[in-house]
Amino acid sequence: MSMQLTPEQEQRIRTVVNAGAYRSAEEALDAAVAAVEIAAAPDFEGTQAELEGLLLDGLNSGDPIEADGDFWNRLRAETDSMAAEHQARKPRP
């Protein structure tokens, strides 16, 4: 699979590499993917290899099923609510 980063994403990667957090953009991206995997399954008690295998199984399980409009409306409402809660918890300067 080929992906293209937005200019903002590229700049964020460059910033962490230039700050010395990672030796290369590839290393920083590997760490980002690992963080996403962990966030996707926070209660998973298996190994990293098992998690990666399960994620690949899911990705290779077939074509995505198109959900109805209600699903997307509920999803949008839930994510909007989560974003509002997160914003409310941020300390104000």
Q: What is the pLDDT of residues 11-34, one digit of tens each?
A: 999 998 999 988 999 998 888 888
| Chain segment 51-87, per-residue pLDDT in tens | 778 878 877 777 766 666 677 778 778 888 877 777 7
* pLDDT for the residue 18: 92
* pLDDT for the residue 65: 65
Taking 80 as the threshold, does the pLDDT of residue 1 lie above it?
no
Residue 38: CA count within 13 A, CB half-sphere: 8
For residue 77, CA distances in Å to 73, 81, 88 come to 6, 6, 16
Is the pTM higher than 0.95? The answer reads: no
* 42: amino acid identity, one letter: P
* pLDDT for the residue 93: 60
Q: Is 60 helix (H, G, I), strand (E, B) or coil?
A: coil
Q: How many angstroms separate the most distant Cα atoms in the chain?
A: 48
